[in-house]
A and B are shown apart, each in its own frame.
Chain A
Amino acid sequence: MSGRCGRILIVASAGVSLLVYVLLHVGFFGLALRSFLRSP
């Protein structure tokens, strides 16, 4: 993947993938925590 565009594509896709993963997990964890706290 030569060229500036290629490099940016690789770094951006890795960064966005990681961000999506982290956000999904933080959200999932938050939902689980909320359910746990609300459970009797």
Chain B
Amino acid sequence: MPDALSLPLIVGLSALGAWFVARVERCVTARAVTVGVLAFAATVLGAQVIATLAAATKKPLLGPWSLTLAVAALAALAWAVTRARGKRGTRGRAKRATQGRPTAAAPEPPAAPRHSESRLPLMVAAALGLASLGSGIALGLSNPPREWDVLMYHLPRAVAWLQHGNLGHYGYSAAFYPGNGEVPLLVALFQGTDRLTTLVQTPFALLGAVALYGLARELGASRRSAPLAGLAFLLTPMVVFQTSTAMNDLTTAGVVIAGAYLLVRAFSPSSTPGARRFDLAVGGIAFGLALGTKYTAMIFVLASLPVVAVALRLGRDRRTALRETALFAAALALPSVFWFAQNGIATGNPFAPILVKIGGWTVFHGTDVAAAYGSQQRVYAATPLAWCAFPWTDRWMMHGTYSGSVGFGAVFAAFVVPAVVVLGRGTLRVRNAFRGAGRDLRAPLLLILLALGIATWWTGGFHLPRYVWPFLALLYAPAALLFDEVGGRWRGVMLGLFAAAALFSSMETVRLIHADDDFLWSRVRPGTTKRECYHMPDLIYGLPPGTRILLHRPTDSYYYRFFRYPLVGGIPGNEVVMAGDIDVDIVDAFGDTAALHEGIRRERVQYVFSRTLTSPPMRLCFDDCPNRYRQVFAKVEPQYPWHRRGIPVREGARTVRDFPVVTRIYRVLGT
């Protein structure tokens, strides 16, 4: 049974256990990041262990109290292990006198006299950064879950786990995606309401900001400049928007940045072997959490393994390098292998539903994602070349909260070019980094990780801005170096530019919020029903319990009539979701007409829901079979909300304004 107490207990106990482990970190920033990473890992691992037991015993074991107990057990284990280690003596981790040692890429600049610098720009930027975070939280609290991805598979998946008491697969292809990002949703749903599900990503905005501060310090930024890296992250419109959503891009970004920080830190010249192994392990767990959260991070995370192996081999004997590489690999696998093993057992494809093909050889059968969804990028950029300019351009998204905007905001746009210049100069000096006993691989390692991230995003064939964002956000760290580089009165000018960019970024965020469609402003008020939130046709609420519904081509487009989440509901006592109780089985349908009709017959479908463009496939499917299907609901509506704003959006060669949208419900006769 959902229980409100379990949420604070799970969060508190996982953070406590993480703190026991993180105590060995002397640096406050690294300790904070370690606590964030390990607390998330403890929650995820607890759920995975219970789900494994649930699968073995075929009992619904995963619930609020079992997860609380699992997290408490992990915390107790962390306490016992760290206490035993403490008794054997500390590991002798060398205290780092200065966290940000000078690097080849960024030598410590002479500090400007403090009295000569106005604090006003920094205070303005800090206030705007905090206001941005606050506005994200306010948006989350004042709105229902509302993004297509959230309503089609993130939340329905967590609801299914809640209903079935494990982390299994339920009914649709997206249920096979790695699910670390949905575990916090499940914990939020333990409250018995979906009110807090929109805030599950907020901690990851803070994690990313703190990790960027630490990363900037590792690269050599001063204490005065490094906070700008974290602030810039909080001011990015995408971060503000995702702060208030139940998606998983901010989760991925937070753990990728945290992992990059800890990995870079592991290669600090002042790091002792014990400290290096600790940072490698926690950094590996952070990357493993990303691997178990989103397939888009998979190639990057797997490619980081040989990079780390090579970096470890430089200056160490083969045996030590191998041992530490194995440690990193094991850390990667720890929070992620569950999902791949579960997929492998259920479908034979660990990466289900994705097609894995090497050359002409199909390793695992599945969906060719690039072919199926790659056209989405047209919504964001008309040509691949447009991506070169995208930090400086902006296009409205289908929902403001979905990707926020293509542009990363004014702060990113202003400082990315000089940051790349500084990084480029660091590249020229990379060979120096490999020389001598005090070699410093931090800047080269960050460069390689950044390049790896962008390359895997670009070659993935699915160039959505939110997929590259975790990697591009790493650029905020070297951007902080700029403020030390210029020094003197120029620093004041740079800070003024930062404050102006922060102000413009905030204005952009506000503009994008207001530019969003009416749906975003379906405010949660006392008594708001699911029907009012999601504008579902009344007919749906008259369907008897157990009705089998088919969602026809559910990924065709981004409309908000037939989302799965309002249909599955299933949270007793939820004042938002369950006002219009319905109990249905839902089947997704793809494929050609014959396959569709066969599926309807085999699955004993009673109703077919469709909301498509007035394009031929729909008519071919149903209108030519009047004896089997009776249309019981139809409504013609204009295309995307931004159509009203006169912005033509191109799908293929034609603008979508040419196509009105028809919402239809068919009753299947004779079932």
Contacts and interface: CB of A to CB of B under 8 A. Distances in A.
A14 B646 contact: no
A22 B504 contact: yes
A17 B422 contact: no
A15 interface: yes
Interface of A: 1, 6-11, 13-15, 17-18, 20-22, 24-25, 28-29, 32, 35-36, 38-39
Contacts of B414: 14-15, 17-18, 21
Contacts of B486: 1, 7, 10-11
A21 B237 CA distance: 14
B394 A28 contact: yes
Contacts of B391: 21
Interface of B, secondary structure class, is helix
Given A11-B497, A35-B645, A36-B646, A17 B485 contact: no
Contact of A1 (B422, B644, B645): B422
Given A1-B485, A7-B487, A14-B414, A36 B645 contact: yes
Please report whether the interface of chain A is mostly helix, strand, loop or mixed according to DSSP: helix
B346 interface: no
A7 to B, nearest CB: 5
B425 interface: yes
A8 B421 CA distance: 13
B645 A32 contact: yes
Select the residue from A6, A7, A9, A10 with max chain B CB neighbours within 10 A. Answer: A10
B424 to A, nearest CB: 10
Contacts of A24: 392-394
23 contacts: A1-B485, A1-B486, A7-B486, A7-B487, A7-B490, A9-B418, A10-B422, A11-B497, A15-B414, A17-B414, A17-B416, A17-B417, A18-B410, A20-B392, A21-B413, A21-B501, A21-B504, A22-B410, A24-B392, A24-B394, A25-B407, A28-B393, A39-B646
A9 B417 CA distance: 10
Nearest to B489: A7
Interface string B531-562: 00000000000000000000000000000000
Nearest to B494: A11
Contacts of B490: 7-8, 10-11
B497 A18 contact: yes
Contacts of B393: 24, 28
A37 B407 CA distance: 25
Contacts of B646: 32, 35-36, 38-39
A22 to B, nearest CB: 6
